[in-house]
Amino acid sequence: MSAELCGILKLLHRRERSQAALARELNMSRAWAHKQVHALTDLGFISATGDTHDPSGPGRPGQELKISAGLPYVSALIIHTTWRFSLELYRYGSREPLIARELSSCDNVPEFVQEIAAGLSALEQECALKAQVLLLATQATLEQGADGIMYRNNHLKDECVPLARLLKEATSLPSYVYNYAIGPMLSLYHAPGVDIDSALVLMCGEGSVALGVFIDGRLITGQHDSFPECSHLPYPRGFEKCLGSFTAKSADALSFAIRALAPIFNLRRVIVAGSTFKEHLEALGSVMRSFRDDPNPLLRNLSIEYREKEMAGLMDEFINLSFDRLVEVLDPSPQKKSLPDFLAARENS
């Protein structure tokens, strides 16, 4: 699918938009956006809300565009964390899972990959639909994406393995691996009223710590889209030990991370989330007060915010991310003739 068509779909499976809004957000002329919208309408991917019989067609002023319901495209989403190991199938454009299954925990990559492959096969048979893409979100140090190398995982003993390639070989699907931290980071990014123009984000809780850096409104990552690992900072007591859950040293560990990172990137805001400080907000206040007499003016004027509800949309972000990868691998041309037949059969069933 072309980059222009993918760009339109990636916006619309997040929320409905007008044709004018699509043109503006994608920096297209209105005439070019109109042409792309009609191509996607002709293919059956999108439809317009309200009265669609106006001769000006989909996208006329005041009309919202949306992903068509019931499309025969499916993404497989695996969540692998301390508290959850699940597989869910999503029909493109819908955030309600078609079908879901809890998977059995394992401690090595071969069994892990086999458990996912077997679970996927069972769910596809049960719902009589095939997935076109697979996305795994896990607590790990890794290079994200289709060529991702997993260096270390909180739950698997194997290290430095080409996890995305192994999943692709086992499932025959384009497979992508992501750090679980990207879900809450994207949720924060899309949350209204949160200033992420220049911010250090620390998500602390459930025994782990995730670090994010936003500069000029963009999430900054490392080589091959890897997340920065604050555990490599030379904090003598260990960051995950002191920030993964609340301890007497949690405030000190947070202060160390801020002092080490905020001045390097000239960050003026720190956003803290997660369960560690949820019942200990006074500790955040004590950290901020400790900077008031600091000789560095950036630290003296630093703000520290606790944000929790803004992270609530993380599952929607994982679903949207799986849809992003899905539209990139679809070839819509073979579907042009079969899709109307599919939709007609679905309506008659």
Residue 208's nearest CA partner among 263, 262, 179, 245 is: 245
pLDDT at 87 over 60: yes
Range of lowest pLDDT (17-31, 119-133, 321-335): 321-335
Beta 175-179 vs 133-138: how paired, if at all? Answer: parallel
Of the chain, the end-to-end C-alpha distance in Å amounts to 30
CA distance 10 to 318: 13
Q: Are the CB atoms for 141 and 229 separated by under 8 Å?
A: yes
Residues 6+ apart with CB under 8 A from 150: 109, 138, 140, 141, 142, 156, 158, 159, 160, 161, 162, 163, 177
Q: What is the dihedral of CA 26, 32, 33, 38, to 10 degrees?
A: -150
Average per-residue pLDDT in the chain? 90
CA distance 311 to 185: 8
Structural domains for the chain: 3-67 (1.10.10.10), 74-183+314-329 (3.30.420.40), 195-306 (3.30.420.40)
24 C-beta neighbours (distance < 10 Å), count: 13
Range of lowest pLDDT (112-126, 150-164, 183-197): 183-197
CA distance 197 to 189: 10
Q: What is the dihedral of CA 294, 297, 298, 303, to 10 degrees?
A: 70
pLDDT at 335 over 70: no
For residue range 159-188, what is the model confidence (pLDDT) as tens digits? 999 999 999 999 999 999 999 999 999 999
Beta 175-179 vs 198-205: how paired, if at all? Answer: unpaired
CA distance 218 to 180: 18
pLDDT at 50 over 90: no
Q: How many Cα atoms within 13 Å fall on the side-chain side of residue 35?
A: 6
Predicted confidence at residue 134, as pLDDT, reads: 98
Q: Quick one: average pLDDT of 42-67?
A: 71
Q: Quick one: average pLDDT of 95-124?
A: 97
